[in-house]
Structure formats: structure tokens, C-alpha cells
């Protein structure tokens, strides 16, 4: 059985109490991971602090070159990373090979390019009386950044945070999810293979409260925290760092809305909405759980989306025609199934799914649920208000544009939204009115890594992506020189 160790100061440590890592496909333990205690977390933070001055002193171009070497190392270990991601998450191979691992390398290269070309600011000032000055800004890294990574897109989101943090001149301590520790451990191996300076990249394994996660974010040697995950955890982190007023960047939960107007290309809207509901088993913060469909096409759209849900294939991860994956854990599967029960109790019409698939093989021990399409519930029902984070959506008919906008905005969350219409006027009119950090029109999950990413309300604080990431991972300092 694989042993996943902590990585501190450029070396793997044998310290820690082992805990099992389970295969979501079968439920079997496939690895053991060593949980870091407070002492080991302290060692990791101290290693990062020792490395920070030398790393920050490197020219930006040299740090960017290290990011490109790391991306090259990812591509050399591509198959190993694919296998590790599948073992931890149960993702199917086509998604892992075309999205998760390639995006990791792309994140590193993208931020290397952005940082190398980032301009500074300068201003000439004339003051009444003849005094003149030149003011300019320099960017300074925070020092040590705690990178707390979720389980749904573990490699993609880890590199999305590590790349800008490192290229900006910080050192990092990564705490991956206890459910998906393998690719972070492999990335640590790759940093050692390419000779990245010791202490620049560190990994500590464990859980949240009372474990490595809490020890890390509360550590006085950590200068900033970046976290992607559920809103309650983000709130707990904010409380733990409040006394030190540490900068935080949070990408949190979502209850995302999709608006489908009667003039939409129905084929495209059904296919695109199916992607936005069921991709990654619905376990993406950007997935759509609330659908508002204009009444003339409500019945046809609902029937076609349900048909698509029933056609998703629960194959093995290594099968290239597999299109549905399990939930990440038994705990999360049970949470999703509890919402399926709540929906039935509240009187939902179940158009597809609502249960657990049966296989007659070892997958019956895994964490699968059926992709589910519902309608008929009031907008204040729990299914329409609370984030499920599974392959489920509820569809509500609407009659007017204003009604659709109001209902979409009637949520405590505000991460993403989709609009399906063939009217350019409507697209430009509706999209800016939606209370969401990202709005897609006639598409979903189409990302330019240079654009800002993040949510409003309970969906997060701050923005990541392009220059916005570098704005978080570094602070501007203004220098003013008197000229005469």
C-alpha cells in the first residue's frame, strides 16, 4: 500500500500518524497518509520562513523560469499524476488527461508569463513652490503563504494557487484535502527532482479542525492564507486569522443559477446545461444547481435534460466512454443522498435519478449516486436554497425576464451563472444584472486564465486569475524620491 508522507524543507518526513485514503470507486483503502501534528506543521512553516528571503531576492524572471521547469516536470510525470488523481477522486481518465493535469502545467506557465511581463507604476509630481518628486511602486511578497486545497479539483486548484504565490516571491506550505493527498505529494517529488530550493514548497497532510489545517492557518509564521472550499470552513479560517489581520483569499460555495430563454438554441442549451450540472459528478463550485427555464420551452427542456442524465455512463475510470464519476467519500455521498430524500419529502417531481445505481460488482462498495433532475418545489425549499455539491438540479419555469433575474439573484451565494439566449441585446442586458462573479453566455466553464475569478456574497472574498492573483500574493510599496 502506498505511503504518502509530508514534505518539509526539501525532504520527505516519516513522522505522523497514518490514516487511510479510500478509492471512491470501490470504497477500499488504497493508500496510507501520514497526518502532521502541530510540531511538524511548525517545522514546515519554519522551513518556508528560512527559504523566503533567498527566494524573494531572485529576479522575477528567474522565479518564472523555475515555474516553467516545474511545468516541464509535471509533463514528464504526466501518467503518474493522472493515475494518482484517478485513485484519489474516481475521475474518469478522459477528464483527468484533458483537464486536471494539463491545466496544472498551464497554470504554472501562465503565471510565469504574466509575472515576467507585469509593468510597474511611476508618477512625476510637482508641488506648488517648485518641489518635484518621482514616485514609483515595487511589489513585495508576503513571505509564507498557507495554501489550503479542496478535494474536487485537487491538482488543478493547487497549482492555480501555488504558481502565482511562488512567482510573486513567496514560499508556500500546502495542505491538501485528506481525501486527495496524492498529487500534492507527487508535486513535492517533482520539486525535488528539478532542484527547487529547499523550503520553497512544503506539504503537510491531515484534516481541518484540531489537525494540520487548523495548525497551519493559525500559525504565527504564516503571513497569508488562500483557501478554496465550503463557506463554513472559510468563516472558521477568518476567525482564526483575525487577531493577526492576515490577508485571505477565499473561493467558497455556490448555488449557481442557469437562465434558459425561449429563444435559446435548445440543443446547445441542453448539452451545455448538462455539462454545467453533471461535470465532475456536480462536485465543482461552478456547477449549476438552480435552473430557470422560460415557460414555452420548460416541458421540452426538462424532458431532454432528464434524458441526458439517464444516459450518463457509470463505467470504470479507465474506460474512455465513462461519463459519470462517484462522490468523493462515503460522508459526502450520504450528504447528497440526504438531499435526494429531502426533495422527495418536500414533494419534488423526480424526472431522472434520485437514488443509487447498482452494479453487481465491487463498485457497489463505492460512493455513487444517480444524476438527478427535479422540478415542482417552491423557491424557498431547501433544495433550492442550500448547496448540495452533487449531480442534481431543480428546474423552475419563469414568464418574464425580470422574474428570471430576480429569482437568480435570490440566493446567499453569488459565484457563477449561465445565460442561454440567441438575443445579443438580452445577453448584454441580463448578464450584468446577475449577482455573480462569473457569468457565461451560451457556454460554461470557458476560462481565460488572465481574467478575474471569484464570487460575491457567501461565495468568497477577493479575485484570482491573471494580475489579480499577483495583486493578492504581493503588496505594492510606494517609493518617493525628492528631485528638487
Q: Give catalytic residue positions.
A: 251, 285
- Cell 489581520 belongs to 245
CB 164 within 8 A of CB 470: yes
Question: How far does Cα 8 stand from its chain's mean position?
Answer: 24
Count the neighbouring beta carbons within 10 Å of the beta carbon of residue 393: 29
Q: Is 305 exposed, middle or buried (0-12, 13-18, 19+ CB in 10 A)?
A: buried
Q: What count of Cα atoms within 13 Å lies in the side-chain half-sphere of residue 320?
A: 2
Enter the C-alpha cell of residue 276: 454545467
Helix (H) or strand (E) holding 86: helix 78-89
Could you tell me the CA-to-CA distances from 374 to 76, 108, 340, 367, 408 in Å, in that order? 44, 40, 10, 21, 17
Task: Enumerate residues 6+ apart whose C-beta is below 8 A from 455.
Answer: 251, 252, 254, 413, 414, 415, 416, 436, 437, 438
Dmax (CA) of the chain? 88
The residue among 65, 45, 88, 61 whose CA lies nearest residue 201 is 45
Report the b/e string of 239-249 with b at 16+ CB within 10 A. ebbeeeebbbb
**DSSP code per residue over 245-278:** T--EEEE----EEEEE-TTS-HHHHHHHHHHHHH
Report strand pairing: 144-148 vs 224-228: parallel
Amino acid at each position: 500500500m502506498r505511503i504518502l508522507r509530508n514534505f518539509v524543507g526539501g525532504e520527505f518526513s516519516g513522522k505522523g500518524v497514518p490514516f487511510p485514503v479510500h478509492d471512491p470507486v470501490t470504497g477500499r483503502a488504497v493508500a496510507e497518509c501520514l497526518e502532521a501534528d502541530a510540531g511538524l506543521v511548525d517545522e514546515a512553516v519554519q522551513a518556508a520562513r528560512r527559504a523566503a528571503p533567498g527566494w524573494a531576492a531572485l529576479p522575477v524572471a528567474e522565479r518564472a523560469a523555475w515555474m516553467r521547469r516545474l511545468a516541464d516536470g509535471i509533463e514528464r510525470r504526466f501518467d503518474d499524476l493522472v493515475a494518482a488523481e484517478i485513485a484519489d477522486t474516481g475521475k474518469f481518465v478522459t477528464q483527468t488527461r484533458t483537464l486536471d493535469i494539463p491545466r496544472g502545467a498551464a497554470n504554472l506557465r501562465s503565471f510565469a508569463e504574466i509575472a515576467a511581463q507585469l509593468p510597474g507604476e511611476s508618477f512625476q509630481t510637482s508641488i506648488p513652490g517648485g518641489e518635484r518628486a518621482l514616485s514609483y511602486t515595487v511589489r513585495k511578497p508576503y513571505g509564507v503563504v498557507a495554501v489550503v486545497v479542496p478535494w474536487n479539483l485537487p491538482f488543478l486548484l493547487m497549482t492555480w494557487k501555488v504558481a502565482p504565490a511562488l512567482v510573486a516571491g513567496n514560499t508556500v506550505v500546502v495542505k491538501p484535502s485528506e481525501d486527495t493527498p496524492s498529487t500534492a505529494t507527487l508535486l513535492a517529488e517533482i520539486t525535488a527532482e528539478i532542484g527547487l530550493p529547499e523550503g520553497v514548497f512544503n506539504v503537510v497532510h491531515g484534516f481541518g479542525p484540531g489537525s494540520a489545517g487548523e495548525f497551519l492557518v493559525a500559525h504565527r509564521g504564516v503571513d497569508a492564507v488562500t483557501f478554496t472550499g465550503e463557506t463554513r470552513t472559510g468563516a472558521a479560517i477568518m476567525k482564526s486569522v483575525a487577531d493577526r489581520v492576515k490577508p485571505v483569499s477565499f473561493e467558497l460555495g455556490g448555488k449557481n443559477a442557469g437562465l434558459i430563454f425561449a429563444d435559446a438554441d435548445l440543443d446547445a442549451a441542453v448539452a451545455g446545461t448538462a455539462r454545467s450540472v453533471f461535470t465532475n459528478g456536480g462536485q465543482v463550485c461552478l456547477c449549476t444547481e438552480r435552473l430557470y427555464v422560460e415557460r414555452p420551452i420548460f416541458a421540452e427542456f426538462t424532458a431532454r435534460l432528464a434524458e441526458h442524465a439517464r444516459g450518463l455512463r457509470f463505467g470504470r475510470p479507465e474506460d474512455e466512454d465513462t461519463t459519470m464519476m462517484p462522490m468523493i467519500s462515503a460522508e459526502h455521498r450520504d450528504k447528497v443522498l440526504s438531499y435526494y430524500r429531502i426533495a422527495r419529502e418536500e414533494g419534488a417531481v423526480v424526472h431522472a435519478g434520485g437514488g443509487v445505481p447498482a452494479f453487481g460488482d465491487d463498485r457497489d462498495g463505492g460512493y455513487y449516486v444517480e444524476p438527478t433532475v427535479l422540478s415542482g418545489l417552491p423557491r424557498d425549499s431547501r433544495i433550492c436554497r442550500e448547496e448540495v455539491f452533487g449531480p442534481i438540479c431543480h428546474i423552475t419555469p419563469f414568464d418574464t425576464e425580470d422574474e428570471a433575474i430576480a429569482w437568480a439573484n435570490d440566493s446567499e451565494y453569488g459565484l457563477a451563472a449561465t445565460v442561454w439566449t440567441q438575443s445579443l441585446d438580452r445577453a448584454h442586458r441580463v448578464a450584468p444584472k446577475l449577482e455573480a462573479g462569473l457569468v457565461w453566455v451560451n457556454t460554461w466553464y470557458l476560462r481565460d486564465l488572465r481574467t478575474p475569478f471569484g464570487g460575491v456574497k457567501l461565495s468568497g472574498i477577493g479575485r484570482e486569475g491573471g494580475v489579480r492573483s499577483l495583486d493578492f500574493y504581493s503588496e505594492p510599496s510606494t517609493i518617493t524620491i525628492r528631485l528638487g
